[in-house]
A and B are shown apart, each in its own frame.
Chain A
Amino acid sequence: MAKTKVKSKARAEGELGWKELEIGCFITEPGNSSQFKTGDWRSRRPVLDLSKCNKCTLCYYYCPEGCIAKTPEGYFQADLFYCKGCGICATECPKDAITMVEEEK
C-alpha cells in the first residue's frame, strides 16, 4: 500500500525492504547517486607515481566518472569509492605516471 511519508536519507545496498520503498521507488532526495558505490565494479585500480606526475590535469578531464580530484599538494587522485577502473587516465597520461594495478583480495 502507498506511503506518503517522505523517506529519510537513502541507505546503502541491501538495506531497504519492500515495505520501506517510496511510492514507485521514487527518489525524494536529490543527488543521492553520490551514495552509490561504483568502486566495487573495478578489477584494476590506478596508481599514481608522484615522481613522474607534472600535474597537467589531463587525467582529471578525461575521467568519465568524474572521480579524479585535486589533492592539497596539487596532484590528481582517483576516488576509489567511485573509480570503475576503466584505465582511461592511465592511457591518456602523457608522462606514464599512472599504472593500472590488479585488485587483489
Chain B
Amino acid sequence: MAKRVGLEVSIALADAVKLANADVVAAYPITPQTHIVEHLAELVANGELKASYIPVESEHSAMSACLGASAVGARTFTATASQGLELMHEVLYVASALRLPIVMAVANRALSAPISIWSDHSDVMAVRDTGWIQIFVENGQEAVDNVICGFHIGEDIRVLLPVMIHLDGFSLTHVIEPVILPEQSEVDRFLPLFKYPLPLDPGKPVTMGAFGPPFIYTEVKWAQEVNLEAAKEVILECWQKFGKTFGRHYSPVESYHSEGAKVLLMTMGSLSETAMVAVDKMRGEGKDVGLLKLRLWRPFPFAEFRQAVKDAEVLIVLDRALSFGGPGGPVCSEVKAALYHEAKKPKVIGFIGGLGGRDISMSGFEEMVNQGIEIAQTGSEREFEIFGVRE
C-alpha cells in the first residue's frame, strides 16, 4: 500500500515520471524547474529509471530531441519554465501538429524583463495556442497524479497529443509537502504501454512534417482542432479511472462551496489553496462566496464552465498574466467570451495579480472579493483591475 511521505514537490514529480517508466528524458535546467530534471538525471544515473537522459544545449534542442524520441514511440518527458519555455516555442507547435504525446512539466515563472525567477502565468499564456493539452495543478499530490494521467491521456490512440502539466514555480516546486506516491505495480496496472501507431521505422517508413501547401493546410489545422477539442472526453474518462483506482478525483472546473453562491472567485494554480481558506473565512462571516478552480486550461472546458457559473451574479477572475494593451488577463477574457452569448450570466470582474511571485494572502483575496462586488455594483471605467499595485 502506498504511503504518505514528505517530499519536495519537484522530487515527487520526478518520481512520478519514474513510476510512469519514461523511456527518454531530454531537458535543459532552468530555475525553478531544476530539481525535477536533476532528480531524473540522478534516477537514470543510478539505474533506478531505465531511460535515456539527453542533456542538451538549450530548451529548443530539448523539445527537438523530445520530438525525435516520441516519434520512434518512446515515452518522453521534459520540463522547463519561463524563458526556457519561450525558447522552445516554435518546436511546441510541431509536437502537437505531429501528434506526439510528450509530457512536459512547466514550473510556471514570470518572463523577463526585469529578470524574475518567481512564479506567475505569463510563460503559460505565451504558449496558450500551441495545441498542447494544458492542465494546472495546485499541490504536490496533484502534480504526481497528473503527470501519470498526462501520459495516459496523451498516449490514448484517440488523443495522441502532448500534455503540459503546469505547477507554480517555488510555491510548489520547492516546497516539501505530504505526498502519496503510488506503488509501481499500481501505476503499471493503471498506465497502458505506449504504442505509437505510426512510428518512425526504417522497415516501414513514414514522412512526418512534410510540406503542406495551401490546398491541404486548412484541413490539417481543422483536424488538429477537432482532435484537441475531442480530447476532453478522454481526459474526463482518464480522471474517472484514476479516481476509481487511486481515490483522488479531478475535473476540468473544480468547485469549492460554489453551489448556489452569488459571488464566485475563479483562480488557477497554487493560489487556489489560499483562496479556499479565504472563502472559508468569508463564508464563516456569512458572505455568499464560492470558489472555482480552473484545472483544464486546454482544451477549454466551455460546458463545465458555463454550468459552474450559471447561478452566480458576480464572477471575479484572477489572472497571473497580463495581455499588454489588450483586454487584461487571458483567463478573464476567455471567460467573458465564453459567456457572451449566454442569456443569463454573471458580471465578470477581472483582476491581475500575483505577478512575478507577488503573494496574495488570505486577506488579499478577501479584499479582492470586496472590491469585485463593489465594482459589480458601481461599474468601472477600466477593462480590468490591477491588484495591489503601489501608486
Q: Which chain A positions have C-beta within 8 A of B226?
A: 1, 18
- A13-B215 contact in complex given A1-B230, A18-B220, A24-B97, C-beta closer than 8 Å: yes
Main secondary structure on chain B at its contact with chain A?
loop
B158 close to A2 (CB less than 8 A):
yes
Say yes or no for A8: interface residue by CB 8 A criterion: no
Chain A residue at minimum C-beta to C-beta distance from B216: A16
A2 close to B220 (CB less than 8 A):
no
User: Whole-angstrom distance between the alpha carbons of A17 and B216 in the complex?
Assistant: 8
Q: How many A-B residue pairs have CB under 8 A?
A: 63
B223 close to A21 (CB less than 8 A):
yes
Q: Which chain A positions have C-beta within 8 A of B208?
A: 24, 26
A2 close to B206 (CB less than 8 A):
no
Q: Which chain B positions have C-beta within 8 A of A1?
A: 158, 226-227, 230
A25 close to B212 (CB less than 8 A):
yes
User: Whole-angstrom distance between the alpha carbons of A22 and B222 in the complex?
Assistant: 13
B160 close to A23 (CB less than 8 A):
yes
User: Whole-angstrom distance between the alpha carbons of A19 and B223 in the complex?
Assistant: 7
User: Whole-angstrom distance between the alpha carbons of A28 and B203 in the complex?
Assistant: 12
Q: Which chain B positions have C-beta within 8 A of A23?
A: 99, 160, 197-198
Main secondary structure on chain A at its contact with chain B?
loop
User: Whole-angstrom distance between the alpha carbons of A18 and B223 in the complex?
Assistant: 6
Interface size counted on chain B using CB atoms at 8 A: 28
A4 close to B197 (CB less than 8 A):
yes
Say yes or no for B377: interface residue by CB 8 A criterion: no
B219 close to A2 (CB less than 8 A):
no
User: Whole-angstrom distance between the alpha carbons of A52 and B227 in the complex?
Assistant: 59
Chain B residue at minimum C-beta to C-beta distance from A14: B215
Say yes or no for B113: interface residue by CB 8 A criterion: no
Say yes or no for A27: interface residue by CB 8 A criterion: yes
Q: Which of B98, B218, B223 has the most CB of A within 10 A?
A: B223
Interface size counted on chain A using CB atoms at 8 A: 19
A30 close to B160 (CB less than 8 A):
no
User: Whole-angstrom distance between the alpha carbons of A25 and B216 in the complex?
Assistant: 9
Chain A residue at minimum C-beta to C-beta distance from B197: A4
A residues 1-53 in Cβ contact with B at 8 Å: 1-2, 4, 6, 13-14, 16-19, 21-28, 30
B197 close to A2 (CB less than 8 A):
yes
Min C-beta distance of A36 to chain B, whole Å: 8
Q: Which chain B positions have C-beta within 8 A of A22?
A: 198
Min C-beta distance of B295 to chain A, whole Å: 23
B residues 207-232 in Cβ contact with A at 8 Å: 207-210, 212-213, 215-216, 218-220, 222-223, 226-227, 230
Chain B residue at minimum C-beta to C-beta distance from A20: B219
Say yes or no for B193: interface residue by CB 8 A criterion: no
Say yes or no for B326: interface residue by CB 8 A criterion: no
Q: When each residue 220-247 of chain B gets 1 if its CB lies under 8 Å from chain A and 0 otherwise, what string results?
A: 1011001100100000000000000000
B residues 89-112 in Cβ contact with A at 8 Å: 97-100
Q: Which chain A positions have C-beta within 8 A of B99?
A: 2, 23-24
- A26-B97 contact in complex given A17-B219, A21-B219, C-beta closer than 8 Å: no
Chain A residue at minimum C-beta to C-beta distance from B161: A2
Q: Which of these, B97, B160, B207, B210, contacts A2 with CB under 8 Å?
A: B160
A28 close to B227 (CB less than 8 A):
no
Chain A residue at minimum C-beta to C-beta distance from B160: A2
25 contacts between A and B (CB under 8 A): A1-B226, A2-B159, A2-B197, A4-B157, A4-B198, A13-B215, A16-B216, A17-B219, A18-B218, A21-B216, A23-B99, A23-B197, A24-B97, A24-B100, A24-B160, A24-B209, A25-B210, A25-B223, A26-B98, A26-B198, A26-B206, A26-B210, A27-B206, A30-B205, A30-B207
Additional pairs, 20, CB under 8 Å, beyond known A4-B197, A14-B215: A1-B230, A2-B99, A2-B158, A2-B159, A2-B160, A2-B227, A13-B213, A13-B215, A17-B219, A18-B218, A19-B223, A21-B220, A24-B97, A24-B100, A24-B160, A24-B208, A25-B97, A26-B206, A26-B208, A27-B210
Across the A-B interface, the 4 shortest Cβ-Cβ residue pairs? A27-B207, A18-B219, A24-B99, A18-B223
